[in-house]
């Protein structure tokens, strides 16, 4: 039986390599593959050079970063489970469920398989981290990093299994405890991190910006007893990664980490057994209620509720909206995090208009580069449904409008909230705010249309992982960086032209510049949407989606 | 005066990246006719159906549905046609009821409420109304796709392997319902490897092999053309005769 698991893992590795080979040698992808390989070599070379040539961080700073990073990651796993409980204690892909879980393996063997998969996935991550942190590492660091990363993965499994063991009431108590704990932690640490103390200029000096360093803020927070107690175990791991102790202590601490991993493994196995019992009991309890529901549904004589009347591809927009609302938690996180990351600007930059400008630029940059990845409620999540979309009795243009509406609207909501919040907080003139808001819609149409265009020209599954997905990401982000550079260069050329034009028309340069830019963006957005329409019309489902 | 064909295919060619999939096939489906498309794997059955549904672009030929040209009026074609693929993939997050509401909105169905109730009852899906599509079995997904197709009373019905996954009651319901729709004037095209079902339901046969049209006509004419010496032979035997060149002996029952 154990042999079968080894055969499977070996076959999976071979299959991945075979897939990679075929993906690169496809005729229509060969040019792109060559470009991607070239870019990866250039980027990797650049990264390696910049890593090897840089100075090492001070050991204390490095240790603090590692410790807090591990703490943040652990906290994220707790928050994730508190927000959404997994359906089963151990996560299985559909293929694994059909082939491995269905096979005659014992629970211990299945867990062993899962641990092997985790270890094989963690090793490359650890190697990459070692490469990036090379100048800061000591002899104990590789061991520390591998143990820490495996530990995080095992902790994730532990929280998943643990949450499945809880009853509905127990889970609600756990959720309340997590929320309460976070509020308590923030309340305890806030005075030390009060950002307003950072904007006080030195006596007699009036700088535009005034900040405290991150180290100063972190030190002040960690000086609080509650915070230092919470992060202590993580700094234990950080000591091994940073090589911050004598060799004997490092060996002892590494052994401690290893013991912790063993405890995690034992804990997962134990919790998994309990979780199965709990899930079985829950199923039996649900059976009665579900039977009643089914009977009620069958007896119900009503037909279907009509959809809200939305013009142009309305049913599609309605469907995408429903899908987006299923991921409302992830959506809020993907919008709250950048908003939080932009918030220090409000406290540190003294000039309100400059602060508003930085927030505006930051929000647009995020909306172009990263936000579209979180707002895939368009063609990109519909790889398996492209045939149905093509079957609909609507023109390609209507389908495209219906498909793109929701991500555009969501991006606008994010930007409007950030910009209006900033304007209110820093007392920005309404006219400046209005101009900024006018940019949002055409820019979001352009951003979303570009991502969809690339998808329809080079379709792929959003859940796809592995080397090919990694290289595709490199290509996409390189392309986006080039586009940003090109846009900035265009603005630099457009600025003096706008001034000249304004002189000739005897109007303000600002008006010509702003409305000229908005008109240009609208033109580009229209062209991008038309290209999406053409790409969707030409899309051959027999070649791609079958 | 002859009736206008619901489906008309003239000299249809389709190739994938230079490899021919269908080569110059021509046939018409009149209102009330049920045409069975048979042929081995890779014969071009699904490609023909997808092209007729305006889902995939085609290389050359003329395809019309209810008098509308597939190449120039795809939206009008889709409004009048229902295509149920061999493995329907409904939108996983929508419930059965949501799918019907979506279809009613997309096809602008009048009196959707009553029709939805009828199709749910017809395909025994009432108890699954609130179930998300991702939780449906293969057969239930098939029934859902058929329910959505029936909701807007299409003039042309294209079914690709429609019986896969259906339970005996579902199979019987589908057969009866097809015959009823045809009697009401719909033109039906069914692709299937279940030759007994084709023999049961279809009035005409379109036989394809490696993208070529081997035969199109009534079941009786097929019998007379391919099995002159064996008038009692089954459609299965005729199929082998047409695709491999010899009338096969019936398989021995062990």
Enter the ipTM: 0.72
Q: Residue ranges of the alpha helices (H) in A300-429?
A: 314-326, 328-348, 352-369, 371-374, 386-391, 396-426
Give the pLDDT band of residue A292 (cuts 50, 70, 90): low
The shortest C-alpha distance from B107 to chain A (Å) reads: 7
Does the beta-carbon distance from A322 to B94 stay under 8 Å? yes
Q: Rounded mean pLDDT of chain A?
A: 81
Q: What are phi and psi of A98, to 5 degrees?
A: -75, -35
The pLDDT score that the predictor gives to residue A519 is 93
Is B105 in contact with A307 (Cβ distance < 8 A)? yes
Which site among A97, A303, A308, A398 would you substitute to test the B interface, given the most B Cβ atoms closer than 10 Å to its Cβ? A303
Residue A94 token pair = 């559909």
Determine, for residues A297 and B50 on separate chains, whether the beta-carbon distance falls below 8 Å: no
**What pLDDT score was predicted for residue A409?**
94
Closest CA–CA distance from residue A301 to any residue of chain B (Å): 7
pLDDT interval class at B204 (50, 70, 90): very high
Interface size A-B, in CB pairs within 8 Å, comes to 101
Nearest C-alpha neighbor of B189 from the set B174, B178, B200: B178
Q: Do B101 and A390 touch (CB under 8 A)?
A: no
pLDDT score for A497: 92
Which residues, 6 or more positions from A58, have their beta carbon under 8 angstroms from its beta carbon?
Answer: none
Of A301, A394, A541, nearest to B56 by CB-CB distance is A541
Give the pLDDT band (50/70/90) at residue B188. very high
Give the closest residue to A281 by CA, choosing from A163, A160, A166.
A166
Max mean pLDDT among A1-10, A114-123, A344-353 falls in A114-123
C-beta separation of A110 from A90 below 8 A? yes
Out of A304, A314, A384, closest to residue B104 by CB: A304
Mean pLDDT of B93-103: 86
Strand partners, B22: B14
CB atoms B75 and A395 under 8 Å: yes
What average pLDDT does the structure give for chain B?
85
**Inter-chain touch B116–A303, beta carbons under 8 Å:** yes
Do B52 and B81 contact (CB within 8 A), yes or no? yes
Q: Name the nearest CA neighbour of B47 among B34, B61, B33.
A: B61
CA B129 to chain centre: 25
Cβ neighbours of B8 (radius 10 Å) = 21
Quick check: A295 pLDDT over 90? no
Q: Does B169 touch chain A (CB under 8 A)?
A: no
Alpha-carbon distance of A111 to A269, in angstroms, equals 7
Q: In whole angstroms, what is the distance from residue A429 CA to residue A49 CA?
A: 46
CB contact under 8 A, B106 and A384: no
Number of Cβ atoms within 10 Å of the Cβ of A273: 14
3-state secondary structure of A71: helix
Phi-psi region of A426 (alpha: psi -120 to 50; beta: other; left: phi over 0): alpha
- Quickly tell me which residue has 């001034």 as its tokens: A499
| Out of A457-471, A473-487, B11-25, B39-53, least confident range | A457-471
Whether the per-residue pLDDT at A199 is higher than 50: the answer is no
Kindly report which listed range (A27-31, A329-333, B186-190) carries the lowest average pLDDT score.
A27-31
Residues in B touching A385 (Cβ below 8 Å)? 89, 91
A541: distance to nearest CA of chain B, Å?
6
Q: In the structure, what pLDDT confidence band is assigned to residue B221 with cuts at 50, 70 and 90? A: confident
Contact (Cβ atoms closer than 8 angstroms) between residue A299 and residue A389 = no
| 8 Å CB contact between B242 and B226 | yes
Cβ atoms of A268 and A154 within 8 Å: the answer is: yes
Cα A379 from Cα A458, distance rounded (Å): 12
pLDDT of residue A244 exceeding 60: yes
pTM for this entry: 0.67
The pLDDT confidence band at residue A201, using thresholds 50, 70 and 90, is very low
* Burial environment of residue A544 by CB neighbours within 10 A (0 to 12, 13 to 18, 19 or more): middle
Closest Cα in chain B, distance from residue A398 (Å): 11
Query: Has residue A232 got a pLDDT over 70?
Result: yes
Could you give the angle at the alpha carbon of B152 between the alpha carbons of B151 and B153, nearest 5°?
100
Smallest Cα distance from B144 to chain A, Å? 13
Count each helix (H run) and each strand (E run) in chain A, helices first.
Answer: 20, 0
- Which residues on A lie below 8 Å from B101 (Cβ)? 304-307
CB contact under 8 A, A303 and B47: no
- Beta-carbon contacts of A313 under 8 Å, excluding residues fewer than 6 positions away, are A394, A398, A399, A400, A401, A402, A403, A405
Rounded Cα gap, residues B76 and B66, in angstroms: 9
The kind and range of the H/E element at A132 are: helix A107-132
> Strand B19-29 to strand B187-191: parallel, antiparallel, or no bridges (unpaired)?
unpaired
Residue B217 has, within 13 A of its CA and on its CB side, a CA count of 9
Q: How many residues does chain B have?
A: 254
Q: What pLDDT, on the 0 to 100 scale, is given for residue A466? A: 60
d(C-alpha A335, C-alpha A43), whole Å: 29
Give the pair of three-digit tokens for residue A150: 């495996």
Q: Which residue in chain B is spatially nearest to A304 when comparing CA positions?
A: B113
Which ranges of A194-313 does DSSP label H, i.e. alpha helix?
A: 214-222, 225-242, 247-299
Give the residue-averaged pLDDT of A117-127: 85
Chain A segment 313-342 residues within 8 A of B by beta carbon are 314-315, 318-319, 322-323, 326
Q: Which of B61, B39, B37 is nearest to B49 (CA)?
A: B37
Nearest alpha-carbon partner for A519 in A538, A501, A537, A541:
A501
Q: Does A391 touch chain B (CB under 8 A)?
A: yes
Instruction: Tell me whether residues B104 and A387 touch, CB distance under 8 A.
Output: no
- Beta strands B187-191 and B34-38, pairing class: parallel
Contact B86, A400 (CB under 8 A): no
Interface contact A319-B102, CB threshold 8 A? yes
pLDDT greater than 80 at residue A115: yes
Span B25-33, average pLDDT: 93
Which 8-state DSSP code applies to residue B164? T
The residue among A125, A124, A131, A148 whose CA lies nearest residue A240 is A148
Q: What residue spans of A133-246 are helical by DSSP H?
A: 141-165, 168-193, 214-222, 225-242
Q: Which of A293, A387, A392 sits opposite B78 (nearest CB)?
A: A392
Chain A, 251-310: which have a CB under 8 Å from a chain B CB? 293-295, 297-298, 300-307
- The pLDDT tens digits of the residues spanning A433-472 come to 999 999 999 999 999 999 999 899 888 776 665 666 777 7
pLDDT over 70 at B253, yes or no:
no
Chain A residues touching residue B75 (CB < 8 angstroms): 393-395
Q: Cβ contact (<8 Å) for A307 and B114?
A: no
Determine the 3-state secondary structure of B34 from DSSP.
strand
Chain B from 16 to 45: CB within 8 A of any A CB: 16-17
Give the gap in angstroms from C-alpha B167 to the nearest C-alpha of chain A: 19
- Tell whether the model's pLDDT for residue A12 goes beyond 70: no
């Amino acid at each position: 039986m154990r042999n079968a698991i080894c055969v499977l893992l070996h076959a999976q590795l071979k299959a991945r390599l075979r897939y990679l080979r075929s993906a690169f040698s496809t005729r229509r992808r060969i040019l792109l593959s060559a470009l991607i390989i070239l870019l990866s070599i250039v980027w990797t070379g650049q990264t390696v050079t910049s890593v090897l040539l840089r100075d090492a961080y001070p050991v204390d700073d490095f240790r603090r970063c590692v410790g807090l990073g591990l703490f943040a990651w652990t906290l994220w796993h707790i928050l994730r489970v508190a927000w959404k409980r997994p359906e089963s204690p151990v996560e299985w892909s559909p293929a694994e469920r059909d082939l491995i879980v269905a096979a005659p393996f014992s629970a211990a063997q299945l867990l062993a398989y899962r641990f092997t998969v985790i270890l094989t996935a963690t090793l490359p991550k650890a190697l990459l981290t070692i490469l990036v942190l090379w100048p800061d590492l000591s002899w104990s660091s590789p061991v520390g990093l591998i143990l820490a990363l495996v530990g995080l993965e095992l902790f994730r499994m532990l929280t998943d299994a643990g949450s499945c063991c809880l009853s509905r009431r127990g889970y609600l108590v756990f959720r309340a405890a997590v929320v309460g704990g976070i509020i308590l932690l923030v309340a305890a640490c806030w005075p030390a991190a009060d950002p307003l103390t950072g904007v006080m200029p030195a006596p007699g000096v009036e700088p535009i910006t005034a900040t405290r360093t991150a180290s100063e803020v972190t030190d002040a927070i960690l000086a609080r007893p509650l915070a230092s107690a919470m992060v202590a175990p993580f700094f234990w791991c950080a000591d091994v990664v940073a090589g911050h102790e004598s060799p004997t202590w490092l060996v002892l601490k590494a052994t401690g980490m290893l013991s912790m991993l063993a405890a995690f493994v034992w804990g997962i196995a134990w919790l998994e057994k309990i979780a199965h019992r709990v899930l079985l009991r829950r199923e039996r309890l649900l059976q009665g209620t579900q039977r009643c529901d089914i009977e009620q549904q069958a007896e119900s004589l009503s037909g279907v509720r009509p959809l809200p009347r939305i013009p142009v591809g309305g049913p599609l927009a309605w469907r995408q909206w429903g899908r987006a609302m299923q991921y409302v938690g992830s959506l809020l996180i993907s919008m709250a995090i950048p908003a939080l990351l932009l918030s220090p600007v409000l406290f540190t930059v003294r000039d309100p208009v400059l602060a508003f400008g930085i927030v505006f630029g930051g929000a647009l940059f995020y909306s172009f580069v990263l936000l579209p990845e979180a707002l895939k409620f368009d063609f990109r999540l519909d790889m398996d449904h492209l045939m149905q979309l093509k079957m609909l009795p609507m023109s390609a243009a209507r389908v495209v409008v219906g498909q793109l509406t929701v991500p555009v609207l969501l991006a606008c909501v994010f930007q409007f909230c950030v910009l209006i919040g900033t304007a209110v907080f820093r007392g920005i003139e309404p006219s400046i705010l209005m101009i900024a808001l006018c940019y949002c819609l055409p820019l979001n149409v352009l951003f979303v249309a570009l991502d969809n265009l690339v998808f329809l020209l080079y379709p792929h599954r959003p859940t796809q992982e592995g080397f090919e997905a990694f290289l595709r990401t490199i290509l996409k982000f390189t392309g986006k960086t080039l586009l940003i550079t090109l846009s900035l260069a265009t603005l630099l050329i457009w600025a003096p032209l706008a001034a000249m034009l304004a002189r000739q028309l005897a109007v303000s340069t600002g008006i010509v510049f702003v409305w000229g830019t908005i008109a240009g963006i609208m033109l580009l957005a229209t062209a991008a949407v038309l290209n999406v329409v053409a790409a969707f019309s030409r899309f051959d489902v027999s070649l791609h989606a079958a | 005066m002859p009736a206008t064909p619901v489906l008309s295919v003239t000299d249809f060619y389709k190739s994938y990246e230079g490899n021919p999939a269908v080569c110059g096939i021509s046939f018409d489906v009149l209102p009330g006719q049920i045409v069975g498309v048979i042929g081995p794997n890779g014969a071009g059955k699904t490609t023909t159906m997808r092209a007729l549904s305006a889902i995939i672009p085609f290389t050359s030929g003329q395809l019309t549905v209810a008098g509308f040209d597939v190449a120039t009026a795809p939206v009008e074609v889709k409004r009048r046609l229902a295509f149920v693929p061999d493995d329907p993939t409904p939108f996983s997050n929508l419930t059965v009821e949501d799918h019907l509401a979506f279809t009613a909105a997309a096809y602008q169905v009048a009196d959707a409420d009553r029709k939805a109730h009828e199709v749910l009852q017809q395909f025994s899906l009432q108890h699954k109304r609130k179930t998300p599509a991702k939780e449906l079995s293969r057969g239930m997904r098939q029934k859902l796709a058929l329910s959505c197709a029936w909701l807007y009373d299409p003039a042309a019905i294209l079914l690709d392997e429609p019986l896969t996954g259906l339970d005996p009651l579902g199979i019987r319901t589908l057969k009866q319902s097809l015959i009823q729709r045809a009697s009401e004037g719909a033109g039906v095209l069914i692709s299937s490897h279940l030759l007994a079902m084709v023999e049961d339901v279809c009035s005409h046969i379109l036989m394809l092999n490696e993208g070529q049209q081997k035969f199109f006509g009534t079941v009786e004419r097929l019998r007379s053309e391919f099995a002159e010496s064996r008038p009692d032979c089954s459609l299965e035997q005729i199929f082998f005769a047409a695709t491999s060149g010899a009338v096969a002996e019936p398989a021995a029952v062990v």
